[in-house]
Each structure stands twice: as structure tokens, then as C-alpha cells.
Amino acid sequence: MTAITVNINGIKTTVPGGTSILQAAAEAGVQIPTLCFHPDQEVKANCRICVVEVEGQKNLVPACATAVSEGMVIKTATRRVLEARRTILELILSRHPQDCLHCARSGSCELQKLAAEYDVRHNRFPRDEWQLPLDYSTPGIVRDPNKCVLCHRCIEVCTAVQTVNALGLANRGYDTQVVPSIDHGLFESPCVMCGQCIHACPVGAITERDQIDELMEAISDPEKVVVTQIAPAVRLALAEEFGDEPGGLRMEQLVDGLQKIGFDYVLHTNFAADLTIWEEGNELLERLQEGKNLPMFTSCCPGWVRFAEVYYPGSLNHLSTCKSPQQMFGALVKTYWAERMGIDPEKIVSVSIMPCTAKKYEAVRPEMIDSRYADVDLVLTTREIARLFRMTGINPLKLAGAPFAPWMGEYTGAAVLFGASGGVMEAALRTVCELEGGTLEKLDFHDVRGMKGVKEATVYLNGKAVRVAVAHSLSNARALMEQVAAGESPYQFIEVMACPGGCIGGGGQPLTPTDQDRARRMKAVYDEDRSRRHRKAHENQEVKALYEDYLGSVMSHKAHELLHTRYTLKRKNT
Amino acid sequence: MHSLKEMRREFQRAFNISANRVKVAIGLGTCGIAAGGEKVWSAVNEYVENECLDVDIMSTGCLGMCYAEPIMEVHVPGEPRFVYGNVKPDTAVEILERHLKYGRPSPEHIVGQDPRGFKPAPNIVELKDTGFFKSQVKTVLGRCGIIDPEQIVHYIAFGGYEALEKVLSEMSQTEVIEEIKRSGLRGRGGGGFPTGRKWEAAYNSPGPKKYVVCNADEGDPGAFMDRSILEGDPHSLLEGMAICGYAIGADEGYIYVRAEYPLAIKRLRKAIHDAEAMGILGDNILDSGFSFRIRIAAGAGAFVCGEETALMHSIEGKRGMPRVRPPYPAASGLWGKPTNINNVETYANISGIIRRGAGWFSGMGTDNSKGSKVFALTGNIRRTGLAEVPIGISLREVVFEIGGGIQNDRQFKAVQIGGPSGGCIPASHLETPIDYDSLIRLGAMMGSGGLVVMDEDTCMVDVARYFLKFTQEESCGKCTPCREGTMRMLQILERICQGQGRPEDIDTLESLGRVIKSTSLCGLGQSAPNPVLATLRYFRSEYEEHIFNKKCPAGICVELLDIIIDPEKCRGCTLCKNVCPADAIGGERKQPHSIDPEKCIKCQACIMKCPFDAITKG
Amino acid sequence: MCNCGESVRDQRYTALEKTLSKYRHSTGKIIPVLQEIQDIFGYIPTDAIREVSRELKVPSSEIYGVVTFYGQFHLQARGKNIIRVCTGTACHVQGGGKIVEAITGYLGLKDGKMTSDDMMFTLEPVACLGACGMAPVMMVNEDAYGRLTPDEIPAILARYDENRKQGDDEKCIA
Amino acid sequence: MLMNTAPKINYRTQAANELAESTPCPRTVNDVYSLGVNLQYCIGARYREIAELNQKETRSDCIRLAEKQMEIKKRIDKAAGHQLNILIQYFYEHGGPVIEDPVSEDTVKEISPFYNRLMENFLESLDEVTEKVRCGEMSIGEMETTINRELISMFGALGNLFMVNEMRKAFHDLVEIRESTA
């Protein structure tokens, strides 16, 4: 495109044609406020906060949606522009609840930042808040419709990026509202609780279901033994909550911090991730030999599992019957681990710290009780743990560090990969290729890495070509699933993660990550993998011990009973 | 190419033959029916059967004279055409009895005669000389009221589809576009964008699939020009759309008609069916190789769907919410394909321009606003109805000559032009010529053509409140300034009308109006504050009266009225005392009564009851 | 559990199925489908939204958005006769407000309720019926009434009011 | 110390109800057994819900009953596996014929309104019983017997809906398993 020079507040800037005024201004170092704009979404231009004055145009134009043209003279801070911005903010605030101090987004709320920046001090309009009940219907997410500023960012991510279509608009004009599908609560809609709408929301209208109280009750009860597992993506992102780069917090420091909060034993989900590779790797080989139920989909992402149950009930046989690492861990902690540690399983409170809100739903699925108790009692997100650290006055970055509890703390580089999209695939390929004998020199499978929507690769297993695919964001998963439902899928093994970038971009992670933030967190995952001594799941000694002393063999009857599950159709109004 | 010439000659002969038969035509548009036209129709049919007269009874669209509805026309061969107004079922029979049996028209009911070349009857005014028709120039409404809208043969007989034939046989796409550009035709929907340039943009966008869309949403309250074209002469719209399809290279058209016009939809469906049956629409029109199919998309009750991108979303089955432009519809419109959208009246002008040439059209109107425009005259005016006038005619001429001045001789106060997106024009600007640019200078706009005349008894603050209530309810809710701002302005105006106005209200209204007008995403929001800003500009004193003195000069804002009994006129008959719901009236029999202002709820029941009109509101 | 052969779903649902099969393979036909459903049921039942979503492969959140956007669609059942009173400019200026008061009085509608308790009438103020010359105008179902005065209202409405037919003031003999 | 005043929703019971409600009207023998399994999970979740109220004396009984539901579930799984083997054997013996679902599309359309109502009634009675136990109006033992009775009568009614006798036999199996473990 031809280069175009424009004059922004007197500064001459040259930008390629088609750039919006917003981007051109940013390059010229001029800051224009936005609310409904999101770098990874289509321009909607409905909040009108980013209006600027362009010479020769009668009306003010939205900077996000107006492309620059040659010789355009733009003024971003005239009296008329400021009057417009402050009036629009005043209009929004006159209907917005004034409980900033109670709100989960206090300090990270875009509306709060704008109101302070633009000195909106007086309000000429009578308060007129919505007074609607909060929506607690789903185990993972809580919606507070009174705080919605109608920027449509949540609808955009749920419809375009995730194609779940759980959220939509209702009514018209002053009564317009964002509602779950037919306004009977989120649980009645096809919502899979992936939590991407939480990241999209600029204010506190959607948050994760807070379970800190339940945790503190368990910790304070002397009878109870509180055991927790931590997902790989949690450690990576937690550093961001305390002002450091992703991966800045060492695992030992996190373990130390959690023990200081009051957890009796701290273990690692990655142990179960390596275990999943053992089970799922073998299941894949079995399916390849029998040539049945192919392509096989991974089943470690509960958001993806529910998406398949709601939208593709006819193709559930393609999902691997393996449980996710969280649920495998849960099943083992109240059986194998309880036995090894000599603790009465009834006293154990199995906690799981995850980067994900859908895990809160997975834990309450009725079939997740194979340990004769609830496999996982409580699931907390990265954000909740960060809040807990702040509440208890602990800054994990300053701690010395502590080791994991025995039996289920060891993990390999392969397990760490589970946090990034393409990670489960790479971990599985490293093991599956070696199960056939011979060792793999090149451990890195670059084709399955990165932020590309659907990634492909071809691998040779005992001479036969196996085509694999990796999809992140449910819109890409839907594309692959359509091929499978039509019987035209060229792949044998497909990894799906519901969230863009994989679990490092999960619904429970530090707020509003852009695609760049997700890419940065991904890099930290691969850095940690390279730093570990063992980088193949089948080199995990504790997993070997589990099989020898307890499960008998891979895919044994006991393994099947504890580590595998089933899926059923969810009749939702899609 | 199969020509319509012979067919046209044959239909004209048939039309003329039927001309030498006695014909009675009754206006059965929605307004005709609302005025009791159907009862007249059955009475006339019954009379003709009993008297077994050889008379054809025909229904027609409306002539535009709503004030005279129901209308009955009598065509006797060799005599001028007589138009009777305000016809009741019984008077209709009387008129026919006297006119058909004894050949004597009844002047007391006549509106006017149309000599059609025959000897005009003595001392009966000719239609074209009546005040209502004198300065009108009927091009778009030419056939309305003359032909039977459900008969394609009538349309063809009156030169219908001649323009389409000419375009398909002689003209190239660029020639057609050049002709429209030369004619200077501008969009009649309200925006006034030059139609030729719009077609050219659609023609230039690449793509095998393009659409032609007609905006017949006509959501403005007080505007019904499009309805009378759709009901009175549907084929003129179809022909205009077909020509546009040929010009920009589209093979499919949609007419988006609002759900509140069932009769218009019925007539359009019949017209499309008849045209397709005669090979004038559908595949391979008149064996010319050009195909064009028209579908009807019914609206579902949303004024915002008059905005082009909202309209397209509505056709696509979505919420009628506008989107950001560019891309403009000419580049990516309906289902992402290049689309040309024009108003009903714009398309209805096309066949005239092609048939009589661009010069004829540009001869009418002013230098930058060409041709004629149809206005809907309503409100406190003596002759309400539709008037098609050359652009540039002065407001005074429209209101006083055509409209016949104000009802029961009240004083003229203002005229609202452009519906809820327009502004009001006070008496001081009556001389303003009606054209796109001078109206915008006054803070109003041409709009679709709704023209509501208001007399001295109208409170301008109440009118501004009324219009804002309409746009506020019709806002689509997508962008903040319009969704929130219009409601906040309305709340302020409602407070003022209830007597709780505060001094700073005027500044807040003006500042809010400015912000909404300059930051809203679509036309609805950008024009919603116009009625308030215009009334503030010309009638600021009335706002100040309401706010500071808590008085409503026009006596409309009920809460501000003081209802007082005039002691001289009051005979103490206690009628008002019994009817008063709040028993606010005191006084003995035969003694002058008085109203306690605290208790009075200003329901004005006493004013209506008092036989001596001793009670006034002020 | 009744074992009668004829399924319990009344004939309105079979009409719904006929409509849906007609539009199954078309795109963008949500509004015509909803208009037909509105005619069949008099309103849009929520389970009808589910079936339209399944048949036309359109998310039910989008359909619910359309139903609640357009003034023609209603989620609650409405009265047998629909009174549409014009509140357009001309009618407003010619006293349309008084007509509305007369109707609400006759039907006994209180605090914003638009449907009479006996489900006989639903009052719908409409922006403009397009017959401004006849202002003030009202339509009951398909019949239009122009140049109205408040005291004509009871007589007009009584004609549609089946309960009132056996009522007193009509004193109809037949 | 519940600071965030969220309404008390038992998400496990909610998920269990969703599991039961989503089971479509069975069209094959395997569907009947998976219906049985889903209902076992649903009943098990109710016992766990009451166990969580941790009134000391009822807690261990509830856990015992919840585990008993899982044993019943295992027996249903075994029966289902047995049936599957018979089907596969039939499949191989007859040279791999195409096996049609015993219940056709339109019969399901006819039956499903009754099936839905039966399931709704059962789930409602499950709610009532749980509520009664929660407020102490009913003992755990009575709860088990009521559920047993309701479930057996429902399986019987569901069996009558189907003309195909394999399906009726499958429902009969479920009744038998319930009765043998009462």
C-alpha cells in the first residue's frame, strides 16, 4: 500500500495506507483513549470515546475506525473533542454502579482509568443503575450485568474467536443489554466457561467464581489435610501479577509461598501430565493399530470437551477417553498418594490451582468421583492465588524456595509444554516416537509451536506417516471438527485447546492478555522445557513407580478405572 | 428484442374504449379506507346492481387530497372527469342518481373537474386551478389516482416500461448512468446524495453478484409519500429498480417495506407477479438477455432500519443495527456484495428521466436541487394531503396556497420539516425556498418530505419532547451517545414540561445535543437532537417561560396551567363541581365557584362541562 | 400417563414444523420465519426459538436478539384483538393522546399494562399508521378508524369484545 | 466466613441433573444402559450433597449409599458390556450386516414427549426427597427405598413405551439390578 503522510496535532507522520488514525497517532506518540477497541478484535466503533476532529469533516470521527488519507489534518484534543469524550464518559458513569472499592477490577478497570484521566468530576444526569440479579448459574463464571458498558467485546470473542455464541444482545435503545443466549442464565446457554469473555471485558461485568473463602475454611480446619496441584501455566504468569516478566518466579518459590499460606502438601499437575502422555500415547497407538475412532482428539481441555458435547454429540467417540491431568491427579491423590502417605482419604481436601475457569466446571462433573470421593474438591485460578498472596502479605518473588512433597512432584520438560498450544502434541510425539524403539535426537517439533490458528505436522511411526494437527481457539477447533463430522479429516491425532495460545492464555490468567502477551508467555514455556534435564515424559521415575507399585501396567483395568472417563451429549439451545 | 409497442397501443385502445364507458372510481388507499371508503364502495356497488346500470366500478390509489377522502370520481364519455370529495355512502348514491340518471353534477360535493379536452361544465372550478393543485407538478404521482394499481395494463397504457425498453434496447450501462447524472437527481430519502454518482460507484465495484435495494421503510411519523406510490403506482418503482439493475449490473433487487403497510405489500406482490407473467421481470426480460428478479423483504417495526446499513442487516435477518462506514454499500453491502440503495421516490423518478430526457427533469427545481419533491402536508392545516411540487417552491406557497392556510383561522407558528430528524422553521423564514441546502442552513433538512404545520396553540417544548421521545425509543442502542444521550435529553425536557425545569437545563440540552449530533455512529443519532436544537434556536423564549416562570404560553403543558373560573360568567350551576374528580371546586349554588389550585389535577373536565365557558386555562 | 395416539402437542406446533421445513435451506430468512410464528401463536414462545435455531442453523442468541429488537415480535401472549393507536405527529397534534386515555379507561389498563385482564384486547401505540390526513387514527386488527373523538371509543371497541356481546349495553336480541 | 454473598448452588447436583436431562430418548440397547448409568451418577450426587451437610450421624450412611450407587453403576456397565459382546458376536457370525437401530426415527419422535415427562417427574421427585431429607422430614433409609421404588416404576413405564422386546428386556435388566441390590 502507498505510504500516506498525515498531520496529527502538528506532528507529521508517514504510515502505510489503510492504517487507522488510532495506530497512526500511536506511532506519532499521541495517546487516544479507547474502550470498545480491542487489538485482537474487529473494529466495532460503538463506544465513540476515541472520536477526534478532522479538518473539513462536520462531525467528529472515531479514530479506531477511520483510515488515514493523504494530507489529513487531525486534532485529538480540541475543546469540542474533550467535551464529547467527557460527556460520553459521564453518560456511561451515570448508569454504572459506584462500588469501585468492592469491585474485582478496581485498579485494572479501563472505565475507572478513563474517568480519572478525563477528570469527570460532575454528573449532570440522575443515577439510573440496572439493579439486575447477578448470574451465578455456572460453576466457572459469574456475570454482573449491572456493570456492563455495552462495548460488545465479550460478544465478539464468544462469537468470532470461540464460535460458542453463548452471549448476545437483547432489547433496543436505552434498554439494550448483553444476555446469555435466551436470557435464562449462562448455564442454560451453550457456554463452555472458557473465560475468554473475562479477558475481553474492560470492566468488572464478568469475573471468575471466587472460591478463596472455601479454601480458607479448609485450611483453617485442623482435621483436613489440604493437598494442592499447580498447573505449569500458573507459575509462568504469576510473576506478571507481581510486576515481573513471565517465568520470572521459580517453581520452588511458588511451592514455598503456598506452604506459607497454609497448604499442607504442594505437588505438581505436571506429574499427571507425564502420566497422561503415557496413557494417551498408548491409546493413540492402539487406535492406530485398530484403525478405529480416528482422528483422536486430546481431552485435557474441559472447555473443548464441553464444546464437543454441546455442538458435536455425534463425534464424541473421537475424543481420547483419558482424563485431563487435573482429574488424573485428583483420582490418584485420594487413592495411591493417600496410601503412600498413610493419610485417611476422607480427610484430604484435593485443591487444584489452574490458569482456567472451565476447570472449576470439570471438577464438579458427576463422573469425576472415581476415587470414591470427589477427585478434586476446589479449583482456584492464578488470579485468586495472586489475590491470596496479597491478602496474606506474601510476595513470592522474595521467597527462598521449598521442595515438592514426595511421590507426585516430579515432572519432565514434556509436561511443562502442556501450558502452550501445541505442547501436548509435542510431548506426546516425543514419547510415542520412542515407544517404537530407538531414541529421538531432535526433541523440538517447531511445526506445532506458535500462535498460528491451525498447525500441522507429519510424523513417521514405525514407517507409517501419521498426520497430526493442533488447533487453539474453538473457531479453529470447529473447522477441524467439521471435517471429522463430514468424514473428510486427513489427520490421525488432533490437539485442541479452547483458549488462544493454549492454557497460558486461559480464563483464570492475569487479566486482558493481548496475543503478544500470550506469545511472550509461550516463549517462557519453551525456555523452561529446554532448562529441564529430563524432557521426555517416559523418563519420569515417579510415574514409573506409580505403574510398578500401583496401577500394574499402562491401560490396565485399574488405570482405566481411575484415569479414564466418558462423555455424554449436553442438550443446550445452541 | 420483443417490444411492448403493439401491446401498449392495444392497451391504450382498450383503455380508451373503456373510456367511452361510464366509470366510477373510488379512492381505496389506506387513507381512503380509514375515511370509510369501503362503505362507499359497497353502497355504490349495491346501487349499480339494483339499478342494473352499465357502469364499471374501479378502485384507484389516492390523488393526494386526504382532506377530501373518501373520494369518488365519475367518468361519463364525452364529459369532463368530475371529482367528488367527503363522500358518504348515502350522498354517493344521491350524486350518482343525479349525475348518471339526469346528467347533472352536484356542485356542493364537487372538488373539481378535469375537462380532458371536452367542454368544461359551467361554474365548476377546474382541478388544475384549485389552490391544492395549482402549483403542483405531478410527475412521480402522475398516475396515482388515475390508473387501477392492480392492473399492469393500465400502467403500460400510460407509457409504463417504455423507459425500461429504451434502456435495454438502445442504451449502454454508462449511458444510463450519465443520463441520471445529467438530470441532477438527488436522493429523496433525506440525505440528498446525487443518485448518478451513487450508481456509478456501484457500477465501478467489481463482482459478479450485485444487489439493488429499495428503502421503503418510511419510518418518519407524518410521512406517507412512499405509501401512496407503493399503493397507487407500484410498477413505477419496479421499472426504476430494473433500470438501476441494468445500469450497475445487478440481477436481484429487494424492496424493504415496513410491516405497517400491509396493503402496499399486497399491491407490490401483485405487480411483481404480473410483471413476471408478462416477461418484464425475471429471466431474460423482453428477450434482451438481461435478467432481474425483485423480492419483498417486510420490515418488523424498527425506525432505525431506514438507515441503509441497518436496513441491509435487517434483510439479512439480523438486528437492524448500523455499522461503520467505509466500506460504503456500493463497495460491500447486502451479504458483502456491492449494493445500491435508494428511496422509493428516487426510483419512481427514474422512468420519467429516461423517457423524457435529463433536460426535462433538470428544467425543474433550483440549480443544485433538481426535479420535483412529494411533501406530506399534515398538522393544523386546512387541506392535508400529498403535494408534489417543484423543488425551490417557497414554504409560504406550500402552506398557504396548497395547504389552504391554518385550520379555523388560527395563527401560523412553525412548520416541522424532515420528521424527527428535521428541525422547525418559524414564520420569519416562510419565504425560504424548499431545497436541500437552504433547509440545512436553517437547522432542518429535506428528509423524506414530512411537513407538519403547527398553529399558535402548539407548545414548541412539547413538540421537541414528542420528537425526542420517538427517536429515543427507536435508537438501536449500539453507540453510547445516542443510546444514553437521547434518554437524558428527554428526561430534561420532561422535567421542564412538568414545571421542574432548572436554569442550567438549556446549557445541558445544548451541550448534550452538540455531542450526540457530532459523535453518533449513524444518521438517527446525528439528527435526533435537531428538533430540540432548532426549537431552542427559534423559540428560546418559550423554554425560558417554562423554566423560569413555570408557564406554558400555548397552554399545552398541563402541569403548568392554572385553571380559573371567571366570576362574571359563572352562574353557579354546580355542573363543574360534580364532574371534578379531585373535588377541587368550591362554591354554593347560584354563587360564582372557584378552583383550589393545590387540589386541581388540571384534567380540564370542568372546562368541557361548563355550558357558559366560564372556565379558562392560562 | 395417557396412551392416546394423537400426540399432545397441539396443531400450532405442527404448523410451526411446516413453516420451518419451508425455510430449512434458506439463509437470512429469520424475520419471515418469526413473522409466521407470530401469526401462528400470537407471540414467540421460547421453545420455538430453540427449534428455529436448530432448523436454520442460527445461534439462538442471535434469534433472541432479533425477537427483542423489532417491535412486531412479542415474547408474551397478547390479547385476541390488537388495537394500534397512532401516536404520529399529525395524530399527536390533533389530540391522539386523548384517544389513548379513552382506550386505557375503557379496558381498565393500569400502570403500564397493555393487555386487558380478559386477554381480549392489547393496546399498542404505534409511531405512524400512514393515514395522517385522517388524524387521529386507530386500527383494530385490520380495520382502520379515522377522525376519532374520545367518546366514540367504547362503541367501536364493543364490536370486538366477545364478552361484552352478551353484555348489557348492546342489548342484542339475536 | 462467606464474604462474597453468592447464593448457595450445589454445582455438582446441577451438573448431575444436566447429565440426566441431556440423555436423549434411547434408540438402542446400549442407550438404555447408558441412561441407567447417568441416573446412577445423578442419585449418587444427591447422596453426596446430603453428606456435605455433614450432620455427623447421617454422613457415613450417605457416603455408603453414594458408593452403593457406584457399585450398581458398575453392574450396569458389566451388563452393557455383556450385551455388546452378544451384538459383536452376532455381527461377526452374520458376515458384518448393517445393524439398524431397533427404534426408528419417527417412533422416537412419538415416544419422546412421554419419555421427557417421565424423566422430569423422576428428577422432580428426586428433588423433593432430597429437600425432605435436608429438613429432616425423612431419613436416609426411607430416601433410598423411595428412590428405588420410583426408579423401578419409571423403568417399568419406560419399558412399556417400546414395542421391540430387546429394549423391554434391557429395561427389565435395569429393574432386576436395582431390585437385587435393594
Residue B187 clears pLDDT 60, i.e. is over it: yes
Residue B338 clears pLDDT 90, i.e. is over it: yes
Q: Distance between CA B539 and CA A545 in Å, rounded?
A: 90
Domain A3-77 top-level CATH class? alpha beta
Q: Distance between CA B311 and CA B215 in Å, rounded?
A: 8
Show which of residues 118-177 on chain D sit within 8 Å of chain C, judged by CB atoms: 118, 157
Which residues of chain B lie closer than 8 angstroms to A115, CB-CB? none
pLDDT digit string, tens, across residues C60-91: 999 999 999 998 899 988 888 888 888 776 67
CATH number for region A127-208: 3.30.70.20
pLDDT digit string, tens, across residues B54-77: 888 888 877 888 888 888 888 888
Single out the catalytic residue among A20, A189, A315, A320: A320
B466 touches chain C (CB under 8 A): yes
Mean pLDDT, chain A, as a whole number?
92
CB contact at 8 A, D59 and D113: no
Count of CB contacts below 8 A, A vs D?
61
Residue B437 clears pLDDT 80, i.e. is over it: yes
Fold of B152-360: Rossmann fold (3.40.50)
pLDDT of residue B511: 95
Single out the catalytic residue among A70, A117, A245, A367: A367
DSSP states along C103-154? HHHHHT--TT--B-TTSSEEEEEES--S-GGG-S-EEETTEEE-S--GGGHH
Q: Predicted confidence band at A479 (pLDDT cuts at 50, 70, 90)?
A: very high
Domain B561-617 top-level CATH class? alpha beta
Q: Predicted confidence band at C164 (pLDDT cuts at 50, 70, 90)?
A: low
- Selected residue of A369, A377, A562, A565 to mutate for chain D interface (largest D Cβ count, 10 A): A369
Q: Predicted confidence band at C173 (pLDDT cuts at 50, 70, 90)?
A: very low
Q: State how far Cα A132 lies from the chain centre.
A: 28
Single out the catalytic residue among A241, A283, A309, A426: A283
Show which of residues 18-47 on chain C sit within 8 Å of chain A, judged by CB atoms: 46
Q: What percent of chain D has pLDDT over 70?
A: 95
In angstroms, the separation between the Cα of residue B437 and the nearest Cα of chain C is 24
Among B107, B106, B75, smallest CA distance to B93 is for B106
What pairs with residue A7 in β-bridges?
A12, A73
Which residues of chain A lie closer than 8 angstroms to B517, CB-CB? 59
Q: Distance between CA B240 and CA B238 in Å, rounded?
A: 5
pLDDT digit string, tens, across residues B80-90: 888 888 888 88
Q: Predicted confidence band at B260 (pLDDT cuts at 50, 70, 90)?
A: confident
Q: Distance between CA D91 and CA A13 in Å, rounded?
A: 75
Residue B529 clears pLDDT 50, i.e. is over it: yes
pLDDT of residue B281: 93
Of D106 and A482, the structure prediction assigns the larger pLDDT to A482
Q: Distance between CA A22 and CA A38 in Å, rounded?
A: 12
Q: Distance between CA D156 and CA D154 in Å, rounded?
A: 5
Q: Is the peptide bond before D97 cis (omega within 30 degrees of 0)?
A: no
> Domain boundaries in chain A?
3-77, 127-208, 212-563
Phi, psi of A469 (to 5 degrees): -140, 155
SS3 A172: coil
- Max mean pLDDT range (B150-164, B342-356, D84-98): B342-356
Q: Which of A213, A346, A369 sits opposite D3 (nearest CB)?
A: A213
Q: Is the peptide bond before B326 cis (omega within 30 degrees of 0)?
A: yes
Residue C7 clears pLDDT 70, i.e. is over it: no
pLDDT of residue C138: 86
Active site residue A300: yes
Single out the catalytic residue among A280, A410, A528, A539: A280
Q: Which of C28, C130, C132 sits opposite B260 (nearest CB)?
A: C130
CB contact at 8 A, A381 and A208: yes
pLDDT digit string, tens, across residues A181-236: 999 999 999 999 999 999 999 999 999 999 999 999 999 999 999 999 999 999 98
Of A46 and B10, the structure prediction assigns the larger pLDDT to A46
Q: What percent of chain A has pLDDT over 70?
A: 100
pLDDT digit string, tens, across residues A340-395: 999 999 899 999 999 999 999 999 999 998 888 889 999 999 999 999 999 999 99
Residue C3 clears pLDDT 90, i.e. is over it: no
In angstroms, the separation between the Cα of residue D65 and the nearest Cα of chain A is 11
pLDDT of residue A287: 92
Across the interface, do D19 and A366 touch by the CB < 8 Å criterion?
A: yes
Q: Which of A65, A88, A175 sits opposite B480 (nearest CB)?
A: A88
Of B332 and C96, the structure prediction assigns the larger pLDDT to B332
Residue B301 clears pLDDT 60, i.e. is over it: yes
Q: Is the peptide bond before B531 cis (omega within 30 degrees of 0)?
A: no
Across the interface, do D48 and A364 touch by the CB < 8 Å criterion?
A: no
pLDDT digit string, tens, across residues B304-326: 999 999 999 999 999 999 999 88
pLDDT of residue D6: 67
Instruction: Decide yes or no: CATH 3.40.50.1780 for domain A212-563.
Output: yes
Which residues of chain A lie closer than 8 angstroms to B521, CB-CB? 45-46, 48, 62
Task: Select B460-549's CATH number: 1.20.1440.230, 3.30.2290.10, 2.40.160.40, 3.40.640.10.
Answer: 1.20.1440.230
- Residue B6, judged by CB atoms within 10 A of its CB (0-12, 13-18, 19+), counts as exposed
- Touching B: which chains, 3+ CB pairs < 8 A? A, C
Q: Which of D3, D22, D42 sits opposite A569 (nearest CB)?
A: D22
Count of CB contacts below 8 A, B vs C?
129
**CA Rg value for chain A:** 25
- Touching D: which chains, 3+ CB pairs < 8 A? A, C
For B47-98, what is the HEC assignment?
HHHHCCCCCEEEEECCCCCHHHCCCEEEECCCCCEEEECCCCHHHHHHHHHH
D16 touches chain A (CB under 8 A): yes
Q: What percent of chain C has pLDDT over 90?
A: 17
Residue C4 clears pLDDT 50, i.e. is over it: no
Q: Contacts for C64-68 with beta carbons within 8 Å, 24 or more apart?
A: C64/A168, C64/A170, C64/A179, C64/A181, C64/A182, C64/A183, C65/A168, C65/A169, C65/A170, C65/B318, C65/B319, C66/B317, C66/B318, C66/B319, C66/C30, C66/C31, C66/C34, C67/C34, C68/A170, C68/A171, C68/A172
Mean local confidence (pLDDT), D116-136: 90
Scored b (16 or more CB within 10 A) or e, C91-116 reads bbbbebbbbbebbbebbebeeeebbb
C53 touches chain A (CB under 8 A): yes
Across the interface, do A46 and B478 touch by the CB < 8 Å criterion?
A: yes
Residue C169 clears pLDDT 60, i.e. is over it: no
Across the interface, do A571 and D44 touch by the CB < 8 Å criterion?
A: no
Residue B19 clears pLDDT 90, i.e. is over it: no
Mean local confidence (pLDDT), A73-80: 95
Q: Distance between CA B192 and CA B444 in Å, rounded?
A: 13
Which residues of chain A lie closer than 8 angstroms to B483, CB-CB? 150, 173-174, 176
Which residues of chain A lie closer than 8 angstroms to C69, CB-CB? 169, 171-172
CATH number for region B17-121: 3.40.30.10
Phi, psi of B411 (to 5 degrees): -80, 140
CB atoms within 10 A of CB B407: 16
Active site residue A503: yes
pLDDT of residue D2: 46
Domain B372-455 top-level CATH class? alpha beta
SS3 A75: strand
Residue A28 clears pLDDT 80, i.e. is over it: yes
Across the interface, do D18 and A570 touch by the CB < 8 Å criterion?
A: yes
CB contact at 8 A, B319 and C66: yes
pLDDT of residue A69: 92
pLDDT of residue C2: 44
CB contact at 8 A, A272 and A325: yes
Instruction: Decide yes or no: CATH 1.10.3720.10 for domain C81-165.
Output: no
Phi, psi of A570 (to 5 degrees): -110, 110
C64 touches chain A (CB under 8 A): yes
> Domain boundaries in chain C?
11-69, 81-165
Q: Predicted confidence band at B590 (pLDDT cuts at 50, 70, 90)?
A: confident
Across the interface, do D41 and A139 touch by the CB < 8 Å criterion?
A: no
Q: What percent of chain B has pLDDT over 90?
A: 46
pLDDT of residue C1: 38
Mean local confidence (pLDDT), B400-416: 90
D24 touches chain A (CB under 8 A): yes
Across the interface, do D18 and A372 touch by the CB < 8 Å criterion?
A: no
Across the interface, do A369 and D21 touch by the CB < 8 Å criterion?
A: no
Across the interface, do D114 and C9 touch by the CB < 8 Å criterion?
A: no
Across the interface, do D117 and C7 touch by the CB < 8 Å criterion?
A: no
Q: What is the ipTM of this complex?
A: 0.91
pLDDT of residue D122: 93
Q: Which of B483, B491, B521 sits opposite A173 (nearest CB)?
A: B483
Residue B499 clears pLDDT 60, i.e. is over it: yes
Query: Considering the entire predicted model, what is its pTM?
Result: 0.90
Element (H, E) at B345: helix B344-356
pLDDT of residue C165: 54
Active site residue A339: no
pLDDT of residue B1: 67
pLDDT of residue D54: 63
Which residues of chain A lie closer than 8 angstroms to C54, CB-CB? 574
SS3 B529: coil
Cβ-Cβ contacts under 8 Å for D124 (sequence gap 6 or more): none
